[in-house]
Amino acid sequence: MKFKLVRLAILTIIFLFGAFSLVAQTSLSAQTGAPRVDVLQIKGVINPVLAEYIQRGIEDSEKSGATVCVIQMDTPGGLDTAMRDIVQSITNAEVPVVVYVSPSGGRAASAGVFITLSAHVAAMSPNTAIGAAHPVAMGEQEISDDMMEKVVNDAAAYIRSIAASHGRNADWAESAVRESVSITETEALELNVIDMIAPTLEDLLVQLNGMSVTLIDGSTITINTESAAVNRFEMSWIQSFLFAISDPNIALILLSIGSLGIIAEIFNPGLIFPGVIGAISLLLAFYSLGTLPVNWTGVLLIILAFGLFVAEFFTSSFGLLLGGGLAAFILGALMLFQGASPIFQVDWWVIVLLALLIGGFVAFAALFIVKTYRRKATTGKEDLIGRTAVVRRKLNPEGTVYLNGELWNAISKSGNITPGEEVIVTHVNGLKLSVTKKAKE
């Protein structure tokens, strides 16, 4: 009886396992047969991290056989080099790429205009805008009129080429570069800048269904989004982290923390923690600055500032070096991205907060060092000077005295002194004390 029950249980398990496998296989087959739509996200400033993410996302769409790759975008613009990398990834994609300016209230400004016009299909949400693509000098203090004209002409030719390759309004595209014009989604559709307006991603997929697009190799693909499964392709954790620190405010904060950590380790060798944090922060700061349009005059001013802070620890300047360092730090922070687009400027409150924190830290450290130097020694021969000792063997002028539980050889500087009298230590010469008779109170 027991054997039959075990046998029945085994057969039941095998049956359930087989049924589960059949259902899973059927579900997998259904998913495999259904079209797939990959969705990427551009939110914020265009930089190298974002360019690498878009490139990786498009490559994944190509390998997985996605029917279309949608890039949802809301950006104020960004770096020209990163923008061109994204445009190249879209242009050379082996899968249709749709750039969708969303959500409502979003924009495709500056570099975002180039990216939108490079898409096989360009779409916008209601209450969005596109335009203002005039080039801005990146990290330069001054740029000549002739050089700026060359930059503008290059950008205008580039955007005309992009727009014309997709049959879009090349004249408006050029005016967005030369005159910084901006338009709404309705005007963009009327001027043949975009292909459609879609309130939501679901509505976009409905409108995309059945559209035909031509890829770079000349092949024509008909987009099928009917009952498509939406796959959101997210940044990896390392990309998210690097994208987060590629911010002007974060770069300045990391540079400040790194410098303070190194200074703390130099003045307190062996603490380890400040040095490790400082080194890591500096490396991250250098990476962040490498992704931004840096004005190196600002960087040098900040380095000068921390040099003055260090000098404050060694010089009695009554705060003059500290004040000069703070002035250099504030000027350096303001100039760190001078000449670049306003989207790359450090917020004023960040500069003020850092100046206050750094100034407080340096002032506290300087006062601590001064107090340490002025503090009476508690060990070594310096500690003996000024101490009271008792004569044990007559000083004539040499003898012995009792001090700190020990007998010391001593020499009197004030004549003969009899045993039992108190003397004051005035000098220490090796193991011999120079003493003088203690005045009677």
Active site residues: 110, 150
Distance CA 415, CA 410 (A): 12
Crossing angle (nearest 10°) for helices 296-314 and 348-374: 20
Q: Tokens 């979003």 sit at which residue?
A: 106
Identify the CA nearest to 104 among candidates 188, 185, 50: 185
